[in-house]
């Protein structure tokens, strides 16, 4: 073989060896890469295997106190146990109202460990069947929240029924009397006084009588609430403060209603609605006869219940298209610039006996304007920021 042939043969062998080396390197590099078609293990794993999770188990979830008085707090303990295999952590115990107060000794409980949730119930100012709850939040994966129920029937030592007495609409010049009953489970308690907070109502307490209520011997005192014939036309909203021989036993009776006259305001209360600050507005009120008796409106004035006056102009116009004639009161004003409630009365004067003056309420609300976001400031004298030449 001549020299040229040897050189050619060696070149072929070297090229073949280089190809094998390169191919082998590529194969090894590919072998080092993960198989994209192969299922990859999940990155997120549960912190606690299902078999090692905690479990909270209560002996009972409902407790009934039964009949209780309103003068003393009552207590109960809900027992529970961690019946799981992991550590139980109770993160929160929340009562459904301020009258139900739960307490927990500690937050973490080992497997098999028992614990107590103490619940104190405050029955003051409550009457009749009651139902409150305590929500227990823990790391139990199957029941992260457990609701405990507390039931009772609160019977106050001294109570009044009803607590709100609605006399409805009472015609002008006619008396109206309604009754309430004070019940005392304390045999020695007496009613000392019943004092109305407004002149439009009178209150009178009758002698006590023994009665049987829910199988219990009690003392009951009737109380009469009267709107006298001399009561002025308008809304009747007031209270009767009732004192007993026990200084700690004070009662309150709310009385609502209205003494109506021959003049009917429509609407009964003027609603100005929600106004923008500084907004100009107009509202109307019609005054008509209830029983066909003619009348005259001599004056309408504003008595503001909030700072400043709501109406800059009040016009009264007789409407002769009705029989007897009615009156249309047009109020024009400018809403205050300060947000908040607006209220007051329209004092109406007429020529009718017993209705020479009466009031019609008005109310509204001034909105809070949304805040305008601050604009970024540029260079002085420039309206836009434009890069200058370098």
| Domain harbouring 190, CATH code | 2.60.40.10
Average pLDDT over residues 8-24: 41
Q: Is the pLDDT of residue 30 over 60?
A: no
Q: What is the pLDDT of residue 6?
A: 44
Does 5 map to a domain?
Answer: no
Q: What is the pLDDT of residue 27?
A: 43
Separation CA 142–CA 309 (nearest Å)? 63
**Same-domain pairing of 281 and 251:** no
**Same-domain pairing of 148 and 165:** no
**Same-domain pairing of 81 and 151:** yes
Last residue of a domain, one of 260, 282, 308: 260
**Same-domain pairing of 268 and 248:** no
Cβ atoms 286, 327 nearer than 8 A: yes
Q: What is the pLDDT of residue 235?
A: 87
Domain span at residue 297? 263-366
Query: What totals of helices (H) and strands (E) does the chain contain, helices first?
Result: 1, 26
**Same-domain pairing of 143 and 196:** no
**Same-domain pairing of 127 and 55:** yes
Q: Is the pLDDT of residue 1 over 90?
A: no
Please name the residues in contact with 320: beta carbons below 8 A apart, sequence gap of 6 or more: none
Q: Is the pLDDT of residue 76 over 80?
A: yes
Pairing label, strands 191-196, 234-244: antiparallel
**Same-domain pairing of 62 and 128:** yes
Separation CA 157–CA 155 (nearest Å)? 6
Last residue of a domain, one of 155, 183, 209: 155
Does 7 map to a domain?
Answer: no
**Same-domain pairing of 269 and 353:** yes
Does 151 map to a domain?
Answer: yes
**Same-domain pairing of 55 and 79:** yes
Does 11 map to a domain?
Answer: no
Q: Which tens digit of pLDDT belongs to each residue from 215-247?
A: 889 999 999 999 999 999 988 999 999 999 998
Q: Is the pLDDT of residue 32 over 90?
A: no
Confidence grade of residue 390 (pLDDT, cut at 50, 70, 90) = very low
Distances (CA, A) of 200 to 171, 203, 234, 239: 13, 10, 10, 11
**Same-domain pairing of 54 and 150:** yes
Does 71 map to a domain?
Answer: yes
Q: What is the pLDDT of residue 214?
A: 83
Distances (CA, A) of 116 to 76, 79, 157, 328: 10, 5, 32, 70
Does 237 map to a domain?
Answer: yes
381: left (phi over 0), alpha (psi -120 to 50) or beta: left
**Same-domain pairing of 274 and 207:** no
Last residue of a domain, one of 155, 190, 220: 155
Does 44 map to a domain?
Answer: no
Q: How far apart are the first and last CA of the chain?
A: 76
Work out how many domains the chain is built from and give that number: 3
**Same-domain pairing of 342 and 353:** yes
Does 34 map to a domain?
Answer: no
């Amino acid at each position: 073989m001549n020299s040229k042939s040897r050189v050619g043969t060696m070149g072929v062998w070297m090229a073949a060896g280089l190809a094998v080396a390169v191919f082998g390197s590529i194969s090894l590099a590919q072998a080092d890469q993960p198989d994209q078609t192969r299922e990859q293990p999940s990155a997120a794993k549960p912190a606690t295997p299902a078999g090692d999770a905690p479990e909270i188990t209560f002996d009972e979830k409902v407790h009934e106190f039964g009949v209780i008085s309103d003068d003393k707090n009552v207590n109960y303990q809900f027992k529970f146990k961690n019946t799981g295999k992991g550590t139980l952590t109770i993160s929160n115990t929340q009562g459904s109202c301020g009258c139900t107060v739960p307490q927990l000794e500690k937050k973490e409980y080992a497997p098999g460990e028992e614990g107590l949730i103490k619940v104190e119930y405050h029955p003051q100012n409550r009457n009749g069947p009651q139902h409150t709850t305590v929500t227990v939040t823990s790391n139990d994966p199957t029941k992260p929240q457990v609701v405990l129920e507390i039931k009772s029937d609160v019977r106050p030592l001294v109570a009044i029924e009803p607590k709100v007495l609605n006399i409805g609409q009472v015609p002008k010049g006619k008396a109206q009397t309604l009754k309430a009953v004070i019940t005392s489970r304390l045999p020695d308690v007496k009613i000392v006084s019943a004092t109305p907070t407004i002149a439009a109502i009178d209150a009178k307490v009758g002698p006590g009588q023994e009665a049987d209520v829910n199988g219990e011997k009690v003392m009951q005192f009737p109380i009469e609430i009267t709107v006298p014939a001399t009561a002025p036309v308008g809304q009747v909203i007031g209270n009767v403060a009732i004192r007993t021989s026990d200084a700690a036993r004070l009662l309150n009776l709310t009385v609502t209603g209205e003494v109506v006259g021959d003049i009917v305001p429509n609407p009964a209360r003027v609603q100005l609605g929600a106004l923008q600050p500084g907004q100009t507005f107009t509202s109307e009120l019609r005054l008509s006869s209830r029983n066909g008796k003619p009348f005259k409106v001599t004056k309408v004035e504003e008595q503001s219940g909030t700072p400043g006056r709501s109406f800059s102009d009040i016009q009264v116009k007789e409407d002769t298209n009705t029989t007897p004639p009615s009156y249309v009161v047009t109020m024009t004003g400018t809403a205050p610039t300060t947000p908040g409630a607006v209220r007051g009365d329209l004092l109406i004067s007429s020529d009718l006996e017993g209705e020479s003056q009466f009031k019609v309420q008005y109310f509204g609300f001034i909105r809070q304007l949304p805040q305008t976001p601050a604009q970024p400031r540029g260079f002085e004298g420039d309206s836009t920021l434009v890069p200058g030449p370098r």
